[in-house]
Structure 1
């Protein structure tokens, strides 16, 4: 969970519970649980997404441009004010995901995003990423918009750490209590609570994985947690989304 800079391709799939159990069982012949999951069945990931007052980042993302970017603050579990969290800038260019993140204390992260002023450098920070996020913050007036949390099970290939597979469940969201320290409660994003499977690879996936996906009848889907949360929120509020956005973004 400490990787700070990487590029990879991410493919997503939605599974019901029985399909998850079958696929996960077969994966264990080729993959092993990450260190944290060896001690706990799942771990909780909490995210706070930032956007402009008129939601320009997520609206742009939903229009499926060749380039898109977003900023989020992530913690593992519910953090205290002095807990280490991760401020992440995520970009996607022609399908290639670039994620850059730096460790910060929770209060430092809030102050940095709110003011655009870097905190005093500490050993747990990534100086280059801090500079890049500072430039990002200079381009947008950002505010916390949505909290998203879920339980995750993660595996790595026994042959290469370049291949990672994650299963996310109990994806929940809220647009109140917008602080990571305020608990991990929220409304289920999908009442049927399907599993979100993500295949994350720096290069092409191995043949054994392609075969397994085919044998289990799993097909790639377009799924953004923040994107689907935004669509759900807009729909419940009776607001409108441009037609292209409605057509191109799947909703569970």
Structure 2
């Protein structure tokens, strides 16, 4: 059943994208067992360059997601709406070192038919909290005004609040030559929590995707090259519809587990709660 009220257009009036730090991409996701990752890495390294920020095993990615009391954004994703969005605050790196002046990104990620659009601004963490939690406009460059006003209006109109946090270790590869614009990410040890949303909080995080699986994404401006889809076929990689945000919401019992939920493995040391 569609959980969106037909007369409730709050938030959907805010569809015009700002030009600030925006890009469109097609994204394809896979769940890849750990034993297939060496072959995947070897193929990617032969045709792509490592992300400049991803040396020595990659980098951490931590995101706090905002939603309504009745999880409107979650249900938009589950029900496959052609237009849907998420609001999040994201940090790249070691979350334990995050302080008031650490740079984070306030980001709207939205889906329009098959195209993923991202718009974001970078700012100190204390300003991001003032904007998203304090619901007040913050100091900004004039070029950021339209986007920040959109974020603030979205938060106020829909009464958004922090709902879930996700974190994982990311390896990233970028295309070269004819594949400029192509990006492949490998996200491992996908964790989450449902409280204590300060990035640096001394809080417990739990694996929300089995440790033996990594989320691999192919991201392209126009189309994914044939060599990459052929590689996926050779490695028996199956396309999945998985959302780390939805996975976290369901893992902590805030919504019934959907048909897209990645089930936990049988209990093992790798699938236990982890502290990070």
After TM superposition, the score normalised by the length of structure 1 is: 0.88
- Name which of 12, 28, 38 aligns with 1:11: 28
- State the partner residue of 1:37: 54
Given the superposition, is the C-alpha separation of residues 191 and 33 from structure 1 closer, same or farther in structure 2, using an over 3 Å criterion?
same
Counterpart secondary structure, 1:29: helix
Among 83, 102, 114, the alignment partner of 1:67 is: 83
Report which stretch shifted further, 175-184 or 52-61.
175-184
Contact persistence 2:186–2:216 (CA under 8 A): yes
Asked if 1:194 is matched to 2:213, the reply is yes
- 1:134 equivalent in structure 2: 152
Contact 1:149 1:184 in 2 (8 A): no
State the 1:127 CA deviation.
Answer: 3.2
Alignment of 1:208-223 (within 5 A): 208-223=227-242
Using the TM superposition, give the Cα deviation of residue 20 of structure 1 relative to its aligned residue in structure 2, in angstroms: 1.1
In the other structure, the counterpart of 1:147 is: 165
Q: Which runs of 5+ in 2 are unaligned?
A: 1-19, 264-276
State the match for 1:156 in structure 2.
174
Q: How much is the aligned-residue C-alpha RMSD, in angstroms?
A: 2.0
User: 1:42-61 maps to which residues of 2 (within 5 A)?
Assistant: 42-61=58-77
Query: Tell me, which stretches of 5 or more residues in structure 1 are unaligned?
Result: none
Secondary structure of 1:104 counterpart? strand
Shift of 1:64: 1.2
Deviation of 1:183 after TM superposition, in Å, equals 5.1
Q: Distance in 1 between matches of 2:80 and 2:128?
A: 29
Over residues 56-99 of structure 1, what are the superposed CA-to-partner deviations in whole Å (9 max), with x where a residue is unaligned? Answer: 22122211111111100001122111111000001101121011
What is the TM-score normalised by the length of structure 2?
Answer: 0.81
8 A contact 2:60–2:168 mirrored in 1: yes
Question: Does the 8 A contact of 1:172 with 1:185 survive in 2?
Answer: no
> Which residue among 99, 106, 121 is the counterpart of 2:125?
106
Q: Aligned residues, how many?
A: 240
- Aligned match of 1:251: 262
Q: Distance in 2 between matches of 1:25 and 1:184?
A: 36
Q: CA deviation at 1:4?
A: 2.4
